[in-house]
Amino acid sequence: MSRLPISHAKRLLSRFKPYLRWVILGGTLFFLASALRSHWTEVTALRVDASGWAILTTALGVTLLAHIWSGWVWSWILRDLNQPATGTWGVLVYLKTNIAKYLPGNVWHLYGRIVAAKNVGFPATSATLSVLLEPLLMAAAALSIALLGLRSHHWLLQGLSLLAILTVIHPRFLNPLLGVASRLKGKSQAVTAAENTSGAISTSNRLQIKHYPLRPLLGELLFVVLRGSGFVLTVLVLAPLQLAQLPMILSTFAFAWMLGLIIPGAPGGIGVFEATAITLLNGQLSAAVILGSVTLYRLISTLAEAGGAGLAWLDDRSSHTQSRRSNPPVKKR
């Protein structure tokens, strides 16, 4: 008898889960639209001069470098799982698949990496574990940087969350919990899609990690610093900054970006990152500068991801062309 309410609650949750994503996305976009309307005059008064465009170009380059580095770190995760992934291969696959995170569901970039790893002969279990570990390591890195701000009203929660993640990714705790972790943020959808494609992915209890992923964690720390540097440069275009403000802005970016990473219903963190940054930076910078900065940075981030995907595609095309030239097809007589 006691199981009936539980099963009924599960059915209700599964029924309303697709709508929850749209509620989150709609709510954050409504918040952003309201803030933009309230400060429209101040935002339109902002101007970017020639030096500002140069700084924005630098921010674009730094953000693209961050994505390149993140692909390299992903190859480290695979190597920690005893797979011979090269850094160059990891970067190219990462850049080609990363843009797919903006598709509905926010899992297709993960699915693409699983399929790409499987296509070169890596076990699907290791590929799946790599895409499960990556966001956990990113979240831990972002929380570490967020603690730089030491905001008295939520630093304890951030510290406890960081401690929990650092504990969870320890093999002693992670291996038994991989089945639960695979369902976080809809990751099981990517696993199911790969299973339907290949039939090669086993149950999650076969996924194992042998040692603490310290090197990838440090790599993700640098990734978040690079992303945050791109945001700081974007803010600098619209307002002069004091050296003492940099830790606060960097920590705010890290926390807002982390929420965009983990909250479902926001492909690419759209809306969640912007709403969080606006809320946390309120009182630290003018409303116009905050709104202008998050808008410009979203544009820069998207351009960097699209540019990275384009560069990876061009590299693939160039490689195929060179391969055809070195191994020309045999002509029929």
Q: Residue ranges of the domains in the chain?
A: 55-312
pLDDT of residue 329: 39
* Mean of per-residue pLDDT scores for the chain: 78
DSSP letter assigned to residue 241:
-
Measured CA to CA in angstroms, residue 80 lies from 10, 133, 209, 228 at distances of 36, 11, 8, 27
Q: Is the pLDDT of residue 60 over 90?
A: yes
Q: Is the pLDDT of residue 27 over 90?
A: no
End-to-end CA distance of the chain: 78
Per-residue pLDDT of 201-232, as tens digits, reads 443 445 667 788 999 999 999 999 999 999 99
Q: Is the pLDDT of residue 177 over 90?
A: no
pLDDT tier at 43 (50, 70, 90 boundaries)?
low
For the stretch 81-111, what's the b/e string if a residue is b when 16 or more beta carbons lie within 10 angstroms of its beta carbon? bebebebebbbbbbbbbbbbbbeebbbbbbb
The pTM of the full predicted model, rounded to 2 decimals, is: 0.79
Per-residue pLDDT of 80-129, as tens digits, reads 888 999 999 999 999 999 988 888 777 888 999 999 999 999 988 889 88
